Each structure stands twice: as C-alpha cells, then as structure tokens.
C-alpha cells in the first residue's frame, strides 16, 4: 500500500459527499485511475471490463473484475475479501453475452438495482453498449451522469500525492536529459527512444518509475509541424532537424510531464523568435498563477503575454494532471482555455503546455506546476530554451 | 506509407461489403487500430475524440479529429486533404459541450444525418455520452451496432501484414532473451523492466520497434499468483522467486506477444510438473490447429491434453491478435474458449496463451501462431520450458 488506509478512506468519503450532493446513491467507477485512487488496485487488466462500485449506504466499495484478476485486487487494494467479486471468463470480450448483465445480477443480489446510479458516461471506460445493457437490465434504476466525478475529487492533491509527483519529477529530469544528450545527427531515432523508455522505468538511484500514460512523443523534422506523432523507427536524425520532446517520468502512476525542443544545426530565425516569445510568455504566465484566479484568466494572461510576438495558439495551454494510466496523463478536469471557469486552489497540479506547431516545424516548452498558498511552484527546474546542438 | 494504397483501398472495400451485408450505410470507426488499418493514421492522439467515417456511397472515408492533429493525418494517412476535418479545441474534454455535436453538424453538412449508422458500441473508444449525444443530435438516423466490424475485417492478415508480424517476432525474441538473461537474485526489478522496454523500441540491427499495446507484464513471487501485475519498482529479485514474463515486440503497431516463466533457485516439484504438463499440452494443441476447426475445438483439445495433469484453466487459452494500440494487443474477435464457434482460416493469427495461476505462483508459456493452409506455424522459435537460474 503506497498510501495509508486513512487516505483511501478520505478519498471514498469525499466521493460519497460529492455523490450525495448530486443526489446519487451509487457510482460505477470504471476509469482505472479512479479505481486505483479509491482502492489502490493496480494492474494492466483494464483492457477487460472491471470497476469499483461506491455505495452511499455501504462503508466499503465493491471491486469487480475478471476472476483471474481478483487475486490482483487482493494483493494491491485495501478492500476486504468480501468486497472483491470476480466474474467468469465467458464474459470477456464476448459477442454472445455482456459483462454488464453480470454486474446487473450482482446489484440485484445486493438489492441495489433500483437506485440513482451514477455512471462515467463520457470517459474511455464506460462504453455505449454498457449503458444500453444496464438500461435494459436495470429498469428500476435511475441512470445518472457521473462523468469525471472522482476526477474532480482527485483535483486537489494530498501531501503524500505531491511527494510522489516530486519523485516522478526527478525521474522526468533524467528522462529529458537522456533525450537531449543523445539526439544528434546520424543517431537512430529508435535508439534515443529506447533509452528514453529505459530511463522512465529505471528512475533514479533511490526509486524506480512506472509505465507512462503517454508513450514518449518525439517527432522530428516535418513531423514536428503537428501534435502527437512519435519517433520514426527507421530514421536517423539529420542536420537541421527540429525534435519535439513531450516526455514524462511516472512514480506509482503519478506523472511529471515536460516538453522541450532540440534543433540540430543553426536554427532558423523565426524558430528562435518563436522560442524566445514562448519562453517569455511562459514565465510571465507562471508568475501570474495563484489561488483564486480562474483557468481562463491564466490562458488570457498567456495570450496577452505573447500578443506582440505574432505567435497564435488556438488550443488550450494546459490542463490538470496527476495519477493516470494510458492513454492520457491529463485528468480531464481543468483546461487552461477560454471559457474554463475553474477557480485555482492550493494543491492543484497543472501542466502548463504552450505547444506551437508552425507550417514547417514546432516549438514546445512546458512546465508542470503546483498551485501553492500564494502562487505556484515549478515541479522541475530544467532550462527553458531551444536546445541547439 | 507502410502499405500500398491498393491494400488500404481493399480494406475499405471489405469494410463496405460487411456494412452493406448488415444493411448499414455509414460506419463511425473510433478504435485507433481500426482507424490506422483503414487510413494509415498513426498518432498518440486517441486520448481525445477522433474517428474515421466510412460511407457506402463515397469512395473515401473522412478522418476527423482535433485541429492540431489534422497535420498528423495529412502526414500519415493516404486520405486526400478534403477528407481530413479538424474540430476546434473547445470540444476537447469539455464539460460545456461535446465533440459529437460537432460530428453531427459535419454529417448534416454532408446530408448524411438520416442514415443507417453503425457505431462501435462495445469498444473502448465509443462511450455512453457519445451515443446519447448522437441519438439526440441525429433524430432521423438509425443507430446500429457496428462493434468490432472492422476488427473482423482485420482477422485474416495479408502477406504484407504477416511480414510486419514476423519482424515484430524478431524483436520479441530479443526482448524475451533480455529479460531471461538479466533476471537474477539481487537485481532490481526496475532495471530489468527498463532494459526490456528499451529492447522493445531498439528492435534489431535492421529495424526499430514501436510502442507496445500492453506494457511488459512481469510480476515476481506472490504477484505471479494472479494475472496482469507488472514489476515492483523498488524490489530486488530474491532466491526462490518465480517471475512471469508476458512480453512483446511490435513493428508499426503489429505485435508479437510471448510468455515465458523464470524461476530463481530450485523450483518446487509441483511447479515443474505444471510446467511439464502445460508445455506438452501446448505442443499437442498446436499440432491440432488447422483451417476448418473451430476456436472452441482448439480449447477442447487443450483441455483434453492436460486432463491427466490436474491443471485447470478456467479462462480462455488464446485469442486473435495483430495491429493494435493500448490497452490491448488482442483483437477482440476470436477467443479460444468453449462456445466460440469461429472457424479457423489461413491468415488468422492467434496468441495461444495457457497461463496458469496457482495459489502461490503461476506458470506461463505461450506461442503466437499463424494459421496456414494445412496447419499452423509458430512465429517464434523460443525454448518451451521453465527457465531455471
């Protein structure tokens, strides 16, 4: 157990308070990060249907999953044995039946098939067929939208969580340094990516890392003109390549993301100007972040700071992050963009991420930050610049 | 482009034939492996909503995704520019609006809002809220279940796909050898895992790997008594540890999975017996696999082969695999288990995976295989044994 039982119980209680506030009696939590957050459960079993059901009127949640994974729940969660329910293998990825029929049976056995029942409607893990099947199986339940309910409980981190995020940050520094040290003309992209992946897991002398929720994003050359492309397996870096690095460290699934940009050769003037404008805008914006300001105000401050540079950034400039599994280290709560009214509070953790993708190439320089009592603090001290080699 | 345009067009045509057969006029494909299969699109952007829409009455599918990813579609897919549609960033992970409202608008613009419209209802990527929103926005459409439709088109692999799966197999051999060579008493689990991750990406002298759809599963000691736990970041291997290795190589997202088991010390008698029974059962079963037999007959043959050993395996013993992204290299089509009536054909690729999890530890020894004209062929030649060190 990487947190105290008290911490897990506090998380469950906060979840119940939010459920009660919304008039919800039960919540089906299928997001693996939310399952982990509430129970400690940690396994790569989320490719089959599994979940945690939180009941307002029961002390402990119930974990359910594939029978062969239930020992994993016994080993990694704080839940007592009678709260761990495995289902038979015939429900796994079947075209003949559906796991939600089994879940509905479980609820009927527990006289819980007629409740106001929250579902993570807009997450990755609660799909349309699950909804349709539950609706059919539970005609007396009132199905409600519980999207991101636990994600919002997660948004303010505890001191213990922040400590793991600091450890992840130490790993991330090593990961980024590995990439910057190794990228060079003639080096295979795959070899740098391999060493980056190794650094993520090897961690530091003191502790190991965990699998990242986003695989290293490290496009080169024309592939830097867009977001989210990874390395090219059969290409060597060439002179005049720009390389974007969107990397992370992770510790017990808690992340520390960081972006930087490398240029091999003499960088073009407009890339240098973009870099300069972005870095200054980043610094000005971070000095503005403090409790009480809204997410959209932070974005507006950024936009103001770069207005004179001609750089335009139509996508959000940051988001809340922390505990997660694939496919995203973002938390799906706060976005730094126009219209997001979230008021920042101490303990929130944001990835301020001004990525710019121009026609020919891009520039990224980001910072993971912690909102503190008076302002914000960077998790990572890493030079904010275009790395020219 | 890693396949010819003709191959992509053939895949689209097969998809349309299956749609037509089901009385479907349009199909929304949101599974990133299916998107890649039909268009070549390849980016780590699937954490936001994106998809490919296949129309029976249009030659080319439409790709849609976040505006900042649309250059990625231009760079990696064969689609012409006018088939690539980016949506504004305000739709990303928003609690104020929903991407499916934008998609419905796109369909209305194309006079396609009143069709028989297939949806990947039971996949990871089409969630309940998407369904509810489309239902509301498209009152004249007839929403249909298109779960795994493209997955079933994928089930028989082309020669070009099989070639990439062979390359992935070469990577996988190196990955497995790295793990077996490095696991030893006193070695940190994280350091072995780091080298395994690096081997997956570094690939061979001739070509690089790609990110695996399942992170290396390599539990030790009591954690081998269950499925799907990964390494422990702060633990050193100890004498009398069993270590399960469920690893893979991947090439252009095509996988080669393989499982083996290591024991550090003198293995207990019952583990040796289990290993012996499983390996013999595996060999007998593989010699039975051929075109024309059903998936459930393969499982029955396995059960018969191990009946005398006392080993019981209540979960499926294999599944179809190939092209994939996180969280699963399995294809969600064929499962080797009672009740699965799929008739095997040449070109199908299966991971025969008899994992046994006993009370104190487990044993795994698996083989990725290709169904051939007359029988089956192992993709990988790797000793089938308990590795004792």
My answer on whether A82 and A97 are in the same domain is: yes
pLDDT tens string, chain A, 389 residues long: the values are 899 999 999 999 999 999 999 999 999 999 999 999 999 999 999 999 999 999 999 999 999 999 999 999 999 999 999 999 999 999 999 999 999 999 999 999 999 999 999 999 999 999 999 999 999 999 999 999 999 999 999 999 999 999 999 999 999 999 999 999 999 999 999 999 999 999 999 999 999 999 999 999 999 998 998 889 999 999 999 999 999 999 999 999 999 999 999 999 999 999 999 999 999 999 999 999 999 999 999 999 999 999 998 888 888 999 999 999 999 999 999 999 999 999 999 999 999 999 888 777 889 999 999 999 999 999 999 999 999 99
Structural domain span for residue B260: 159-388
B93 CB neighbours in chain A (<8 A) are 319, 330, 332, 335
A92 CB neighbours in chain B (<8 A) are 315-316, 335
A203 closest CB neighbour out of B131, B145, B233: B233
pLDDT digits (tens, 9 = 90+) for B149-180: 999 999 999 999 999 999 999 999 999 999 99
Chain B residue nearest residue A199, CA to CA: B194
Write the CATH number for B229.
3.90.230.10
Within a 13 Å sphere around the CA of B23, how many CA atoms are in the beta-carbon half? 4
Establish if B244 touches chain A: CB-CB under 8 angstroms.
no
Q: In this structure, what are the phi and psi dihedrals at residue A363, rounded to the nearest 5 degrees?
A: -140, 130
pLDDT of residue A361: 81
B69 CB neighbours in chain A (<8 A) are 226-228
My answer on whether B138 and B174 are in the same domain is: no
Contact A88, B314 (CB under 8 A): yes
My answer on whether B55 and B117 are in the same domain is: yes
My answer on whether B133 and B167 are in the same domain is: no
Is the per-residue pLDDT at B299 higher than 80?
Answer: yes
Write the CATH number for B93.
3.40.350.10
Residue B180 Cα distances to B184, B199, B248, B307, B352, angstroms: 9, 13, 14, 30, 21
Query: Domain boundary at B101, B122, B153, which?
Result: B153
Say whether B190 and A208 touch across the interface (CB within 8 A): yes
A227 closest CB neighbour out of B68, B98, B223: B68
My answer on whether B283 and B383 are in the same domain is: yes
Average of per-residue pLDDT across B91-117: 97
pLDDT of residue B259: 98
My answer on whether B277 and B263 are in the same domain is: yes
Tally of domains within chain A? 2
My answer on whether B176 and B88 are in the same domain is: no
A vs B, Cβ pairs < 8 A, gives 260
Say whether A208 and B234 touch across the interface (CB within 8 A): yes
CA distance B131 to chain A (A): 6
Is the per-residue pLDDT at B314 higher than 90?
Answer: no
Say whether A337 and B89 touch across the interface (CB within 8 A): yes
Distance CA(A3)–CA(A13), nearest Å, equals 15
Give me the interface pTM, i.e. the ipTM: 0.98
My answer on whether A169 and A136 are in the same domain is: no
**Interface mutation target, options A22, A48, A73, A95, chain B, most CBs of B under 10 Å:** A95
Residue partners of B279: CB distance under 8 A and separation at least 6: B365, B384, B385
Q: Which of residues 320-349 of B touch A (CB under 8 A)?
A: 325-328, 330, 332, 335, 337-339
Establish if B5 touches chain A: CB-CB under 8 angstroms.
no
My answer on whether A250 and A141 are in the same domain is: no
Query: Domain boundary at B125, B153, B181, which?
Result: B153
pLDDT of residue A314: 84
My answer on whether A238 and A140 are in the same domain is: no
Contact B300, B313 (CB under 8 A): no
Q: Which of residues 131-160 of B touch A (CB under 8 A)?
A: 131-132, 145, 147-148
My answer on whether A359 and A216 are in the same domain is: yes
Query: Domain boundary at B153, B185, B218, which?
Result: B153
My answer on whether A340 and A206 are in the same domain is: yes
Chain A residue nearest residue B327, CA to CA: A47
pLDDT digits (tens, 9 = 90+) for B201-250: 999 999 999 999 999 999 999 899 888 999 999 999 999 999 999 999 99
3-state class (DSSP) for residue B320: strand
Chain A residue nearest residue B43, CA to CA: A229
């Amino acid at each position: 157990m990487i947190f105290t039982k008290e911490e897990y119980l506090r998380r469950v209680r906060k979840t119940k308070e939010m459920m009660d506030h919304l008039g919800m009696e039960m919540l089906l939590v299928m997001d693996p990060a939310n399952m982990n957050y509430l129970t400690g459960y940690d396994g790569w079993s989320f490719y089959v249907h599994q979940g945690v059901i939180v009941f307002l009127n029961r002390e402990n949640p119930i974990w359910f999953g594939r029978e062969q994974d239930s020992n994993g729940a016994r080993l990694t969660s704080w839940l007592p044995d009678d709260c761990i329910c495995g289902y038979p293998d015939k429900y796994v990825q079947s075209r003949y039946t559906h796991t939600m029929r089994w879940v509905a049976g479980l609820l009927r056995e527990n006289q819980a098939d007629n409740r106001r029942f929250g579902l993570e409607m807009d997450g990755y893990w609660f799909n349309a067929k699950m909804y349709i099947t539950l609706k059919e199986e539970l005609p007396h339940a009132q199905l409600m939208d519980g999207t991101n309910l636990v994600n919002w409980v997660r948004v303010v981190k505890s001191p213990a969580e922040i400590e793991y995020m600091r450890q992840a940050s130490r790993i991330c520094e090593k990961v980024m340094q590995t990439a910057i040290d190794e990228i060079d003309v003639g080096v295979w992209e795959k070899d740098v990516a391999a060493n980056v992946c190794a650094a993520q897991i090897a961690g530091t002398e003191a502790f190991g890392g965990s699998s990242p929720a986003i695989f290293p994003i490290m496009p080169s050359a024309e592939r830097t003109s867009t977001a989210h492309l990874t390395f090219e397996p059969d290409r060597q870096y060439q002179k005049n390549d720009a390389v974007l690095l969107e990397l992370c460290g992770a510790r017990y699934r808690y992340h520390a993301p960081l972006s930087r940009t490398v240029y091999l050769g003499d960088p073009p003037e407009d890339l240098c100007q973009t870099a300069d404008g972005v870095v200054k805008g980043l610094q000005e914006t971070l000095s503005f972040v403090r409790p009480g300001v809204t997410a959209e105000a932070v974005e507006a401050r950024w936009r103001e700071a770069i207005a004179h540079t001609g750089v335009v950034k139509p996508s959000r400039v940051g988001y809340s992050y922390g505990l997660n599994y694939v496919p995203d280290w973002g938390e799906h709560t706060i976005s730094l963009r126009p219209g997001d009214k979230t008021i920042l509070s101490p303990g929130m953790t944001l990835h301020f991420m001004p990525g710019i993708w121009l026609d020919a190439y891009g520039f990224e320089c980001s910072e993971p930050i912690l909102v503190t009592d008076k302002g914000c603090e960077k998790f990572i001290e890493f030079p904010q610049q275009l790395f020219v080699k």
